Each structure stands twice: as structure tokens, then as C-alpha cells.
């Protein structure tokens, strides 16, 4: 149980284009999902908390107009990187909590999306 | 402030025991997680400690001391596949994880 998927796993795009990343909870409902960013050999940094049916909560320093988050259903959250630039190249990982599971606090991570902006 | 410290790298031999330490300073501390992450992959949940003491789960055990702001992950009977990064994460409040930079463990034959 508690499986989270992400799509795509890898994407290469031109500078100035927008990229959408999907995060799905496959066998549970997730009212809250989390989006992280990880640079090589660095820690995961929380970007935003995605709330089903309401606006996302962004961490300090994260531009909400650049990183658009939509949590349209209990099993799907999307992150859109708008007008991507090379400095946006990174590993993006989503996670979700299974509030109906044994541990409400545990976050289960998706396999990540590697974004390369040329 | 929020701060998590763990060693950057460790090396151990196949079949041995290794202990990875983590110290933390976190407001609203609500538990300590350990995750395993292989290169280019997502973190996989290993353990969650909210009370002081040792939690054992097969070859992996995790310890927490809330008064000392200290945790460790103990890996026994090391296998080559255990070569990975091990992330320590403190739960601040009800949902926010504060991650350490991770400890890269190399298991040698």
C-alpha cells in the first residue's frame, strides 16, 4: 500500500517553455501532497504543500507564479514549472500522507521527475 | 532555527554493523524519520520514532533521544545493496519535514 507515482520521470525542455509534472496516490486518497526539490548531493527542500480543493501553501522564497500547483482531486496534484530556465533544472519529488494508514505522519514519496532545461 | 546534522559519508564492509547519527534542532518537534535513497530515485521510508528508545525492524533499528535531540540508524549484516544515502528528517508540527543533507553509505566487499 501507500504507493505514489509521478509522471514524467524525465523531461528535457527548451528555456521559456512550461512543464507539467503529475503526482498521483495510487491506492489511497491524499488530501495533502507535498512538492520537494533536490539538487545533486543536497537535501530535499520543501517547495509547497498542495491541498485538495484549495490554494497551495508555498515555502518562503518559492515563487507561486512560477511553480503553479493544482490539487484537483484526492489522488492527483500537478506542479507546472512556468517559463522554465536552466536554473530550474533539478530533481522534483512529490509525496503524500496516507491519513487512513497506520502512520498518519509518514510521507510516501513518488519516484521523482528529473527536469533539464536547455 | 531548524537544523539537522548528519555525517556526509561513511564506509563499511559487507556483513558489518554501521551506525549513522543525526542531531536536530527543530521547533514543534513531532518525530524523527529515516529514509533510504538510492541515486536518482525517491526516498523510501525506513522508520519513524516519536518516543524515546529503540525501534527494531529486521536488519534496521532506529533510536531516538528527544532530550538530547539525537537519533541514530543502525544497520546490521550489511549487504552491498545497502549502499545508498540515508536521510534523517525531523517532523516539525503536523506535516513539515526538515531534511538533513543525507549520509552516503558505501558498502565494500
Give the model's confidence band at A29: pLDDT under 50 very low, under 70 low, under 90 confident, else very high. confident
Give CA–CA dist A37/B82, Å, rounded.
24
Whether residue B20 is predicted with pLDDT greater than 90 in this model: the reply is: yes
Give CA–CA dist A95/A75, Å, rounded.
11
* pLDDT for residue A118: 96
Q: Which helix (H) or strand (E) holds A75?
A: none
Asked if A65 has any chain B CB less than 8 Å from its own CB, the reply is: no
Q: B50: distance to nearest CA of chain A, Å?
A: 10
Whether residue A99 is predicted with pLDDT greater than 80 in this model: the reply is: no
Whether residue A40 is predicted with pLDDT greater than 90 in this model: the reply is: no
- Partner-chain contact B31 A93, CB within 8 Å: no
Residue A111 with chain B: CB contacts under 8 Å: 41-42
* pLDDT for residue B39: 85
Asked if A93 has any chain B CB less than 8 Å from its own CB, the reply is: yes
Give CA–CA dist B36/B85, Å, rounded.
6
| Short-list B104, B96, B60, CA closest to A95 | B96
Q: Hey, how many other C-beta atoms are within 10 angstroms of the C-beta on A41?
A: 11
* pLDDT for residue A53: 84
Q: Measured between CB atoms, which of B41, B50, B100 is closest to A111? A: B41
- B39-89 tens-digit pLDDT: 888 889 999 999 999 999 999 999 999 999 999 999 999 999 999 999 999
Give CA–CA dist B47/A47, Å, rounded.
23
Residue identified by cell 529514509 is B35
* pLDDT for residue A100: 72
Phi, psi angle pair for B74, to nearest 5°: -110, 125
* pLDDT for residue A1: 62
Give CA–CA dist A52/A46, Å, rounded.
18
Average pLDDT of chain B to the nearest whole number:
94
Share of chain A above pLDDT 90, in %: 69
Whether residue A98 is predicted with pLDDT greater than 90 in this model: the reply is: no
Q: Measured between CB atoms, which of A41, A43, A46 is closest to B96? A: A46
Q: According to the 3-state scheme, what is the secondary structure of chain B?
A: CCEEECCCEEEEECCCCEEEEEEEECCCEEEEEEEEECCCCCCEEEEEECCCEEEEECCEEEEEECCCCEEEEEECCCCHHHCEEEEEEEEECCCEEEECCCEEEEEEC
Residue identified by cell 530556465 is A85
Mean pLDDT calculated for residue range A5-25? 96
- Partner-chain contact B40 A112, CB within 8 Å: yes
Amino acid at each position: 500500500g501507500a504507493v505514489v507515482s509521478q509522471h514524467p520521470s524525465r523531461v528535457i525542455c527548451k528555456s521559456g517553455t512550461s512543464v507539467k509534472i503529475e503526482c498521483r496516490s495510487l491506492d489511497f486518497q491524499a488530501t495533502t501532497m507535498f512538492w520537494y526539490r533536490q539538487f545533486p548531493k543536497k537535501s530535499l527542500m520543501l517547495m509547497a504543500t498542495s491541498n485538495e480543493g484549495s490554494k497551495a501553501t508555498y515555502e518562503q522564497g518559492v515563487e507561486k507564479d512560477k511553480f503553479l500547483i493544482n490539487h484537483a482531486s484526492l489522488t492527483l496534484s500537478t506542479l507546472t514549472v512556468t517559463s522554465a530556465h536552466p536554473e530550474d533544472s533539478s530533481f522534483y519529488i512529490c509525496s503524500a500522507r496516507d491519513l487512513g494508514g497506520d502512520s498518519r505522519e509518514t510521507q510516501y514519496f513518488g519516484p521523482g521527475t528529473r527536469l533539464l532545461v536547455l | 532555527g531548524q537544523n539537522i546534522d548528519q555525517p556526509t559519508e561513511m564506509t563499511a564492509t559487507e556483513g558489518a554493523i554501521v551506525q549513522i547519527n543525526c542531531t536536530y534542532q527543530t521547533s514543534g518537534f513531532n518525530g524523527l524519520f529515516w529514509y533510504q535513497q538510492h541515486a536518482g530515485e525517491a526516498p523510501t521510508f525506513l522508520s519513524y520514532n516519536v518516543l524515546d528508545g529503540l525501534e527494531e525492524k529486521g536488519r534496521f533499528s532506529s533510536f531516538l533521544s528527544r532530550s538530547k535531540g539525537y537519533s541514530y540508524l543502525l544497520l546490521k549484516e550489511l549487504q552491498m545493496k545497502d549502499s545508498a544515502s540515508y536521510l534523517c528528517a525531523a517532523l516539525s508540527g503536523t506535516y513539515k519535514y526538515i531534511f538533513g543533507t543525507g549520509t552516503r553509505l558505501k558498502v565494500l566487499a
